[in-house]
Structure 1
Amino acid sequence: MPFAIAVRTSRKADIRPLAGTLGRAFYDDPVMRWMLPDNARRARRLARMFATMTRHHFLAGGGVEIAAGADGIGAAALWDPPGRWRQSPLEEFRMMPGFMLAMGTRAGRGRQIAELMKQHHPEEPHWYLGVIGSDPSVRGGGFGRALMQSRLDRVDAEHAPAYLESSNPDNIPYYQRFGFEVTGEITLPDDGPKMWPMWRDPR
């Protein structure tokens, strides 16, 4: 009998394993490869980046969820509730050292991505799915689906819209199954890859 997937709100003690899961999840992501091309260090640098984002921004909003199985955290999602997707100046200040350690000389590319995402971000109040990822070892096992459904149940109960950016074209059909639709394209500079803003109407 398969182990049940348990979805719960994340605590501070979850940050390190959660970030490790997301670092492995995004190792082959086209945008992350463009931002951090060093294969040997990418997973570790991504884990530091996700830990920084979680600790200094997402955790305070109450939108961090994990899906755990027999072997620990299999997937994680970082959501912002309506009106909270913009990082405050204090949050940006607190995140800066972690981002510099994570990205090193590639920090400029990280800022380019962040600015382009801000330019395309809708102003209408909505739930924002900043990050969702499953550990490759459990991918296809229902961890990501459990996380998506958990938060979207709340989104629908509030009759609110939701928004995300897909950084991998292979994931677009997955998000479409949950009701998200592509609304445009974000092209990164220097022959970089594309991202796809996706919007989900209230239900």
Structure 2
Amino acid sequence: MSGRAVRVRPLRPEEVPAAVDVVARGMRDNPLHVAAYGRDEHRRLARHSHLVAGLFGASADLLLTGAFRDEVLVGVCGAAPPGTCRLGAAERLRMLPALARLGPAAAARVLSWTRAWYRHDPGSPHVHLGPVAVDARLQGQGIGTALLAHQCRRLDDAGATGYLETDKPRNVTFYRRSGYEVAGRTTVLGVPNWFMVRAARG
């Protein structure tokens, strides 16, 4: 698929299950996911699939965008509009079955991880980017760049501030190329995490 055109568009409801699979495969080996889910790659894949499916089902305001090559979904980007990135009480209840499927120890680690991220959320209005994932076998082919360019155009059209978290040092460089800057850093489950902001433009 390398070199073929990438088309980016909003996902349709019937494409969400495929999006869950892409995100799970694309993020299976992220350092934070290894720390949260364990070293068995098959278990990590299953556990992150449960969590992402729960998140997508619970977050009514999350905007999902897909990157396609030859009509095959190869990348996914979520974006929570201002004021919607923290789950409300009803949404947290809808997440409980997904957390239960992780097992008690992994669920506790995920909750510790999300609490640490919540503490770094900006107090001012922002569009919260994530998850951002490219299918594992296709990373490094410009798909993530196309997804991020699409999201940055949306931010600029809206005059909105962007915000995201990452646990991968190389992603810090990737996001900086699109105008994101490091606003904070902490360690979560023993893994370095960076919090990045892209100032509103226009």
- Asked if 2 retains the 8 angstrom alpha-carbon contact of 1:54 and 1:78, the reply is no
Q: Distance in 1 between matches of 2:197 and 2:42?
A: 35
State the Cα deviation string for residues 6-58 of structure 1 (Å, max 9, x = none).
2111122112111111111111100000001132311122122111111211x
How far apart are 1:112 and its partner, in Å?
Answer: 0.4
Q: Distance in 1 between matches of 2:176 and 2:103?
A: 31
* Match in the other structure for 2:176: 176
Pick the aligned partner of 1:45 from 40, 44, 47.
47
Compute the TM-score of the two structures, normalised by the length of structure 2. Answer: 0.92
Compute the TM-score of the two structures, normalised by the length of structure 1. Answer: 0.92
Match status 1:5 vs 2:6: yes
Q: Distance in 2 between matches of 1:72 and 1:140?
A: 17
- Asked if 2 retains the 8 angstrom alpha-carbon contact of 1:65 and 1:78, the reply is yes
How far apart are 1:114 and its partner, in Å?
Answer: 0.8
How far apart are 1:104 and its partner, in Å?
Answer: 4.5
Unaligned runs of 5+ in 2: none
- Asked if 2 retains the 8 angstrom alpha-carbon contact of 1:9 and 1:62, the reply is no
Match status 1:163 vs 2:170: no
Where 2:118 maps in the other structure, the secondary structure is: helix
How far apart are 1:3 and its partner, in Å?
Answer: 3.5
Q: Distance in 2 between matches of 1:162 and 1:40?
A: 33
How far apart are 1:62 and its partner, in Å?
Answer: 5.1
- Asked if 2 retains the 8 angstrom alpha-carbon contact of 1:36 and 1:103, the reply is no
State the Cα deviation string for residues 176-201 of structure 1 (Å, max 9, x = none).
00111111112124xx1111000111
State the Cα deviation string for residues 97-132 of structure 1 (Å, max 9, x = none).
012213553100000011111111101001110210
How far apart are 1:153 and its partner, in Å?
Answer: 0.5
- C-alpha root-mean-square deviation of aligned residues, in Å? 1.6
Pick the aligned partner of 1:195 from 193, 196, 200.
193
Q: Distance in 1 between matches of 2:50 and 2:7?
A: 25
Where 1:184 maps in the other structure, the secondary structure is: strand
* Match in the other structure for 1:55: 57
User: Kindly tell me: are residues 103 and 63 of structure 1, through their superposed partners in 2, closer, same or farther at Cα, counting changes over 3 Å?
Assistant: farther
Q: How many residues align?
A: 199
User: Kindly tell me: are residues 71 and 158 of structure 1, through their superposed partners in 2, closer, same or farther at Cα, counting changes over 3 Å?
Assistant: closer
Unaligned runs of 5+ in 1: none
Q: Distance in 1 between matches of 2:103 and 2:13?
A: 23
1:4-83 aligned at under 5 Å gives the runs: 4-37=5-38, 38-57=40-59, 60-61=60-61, 63-70=63-70, 72-83=72-83
Q: Which has the higher mean CA deviation after the structures are superposed, 139-148 or 169-178? A: 139-148
* Runs of 4+ that moved beyond 6 A: none
Q: Distance in 1 between matches of 2:195 and 2:12?
A: 29
Where 2:42 maps in the other structure, the secondary structure is: coil
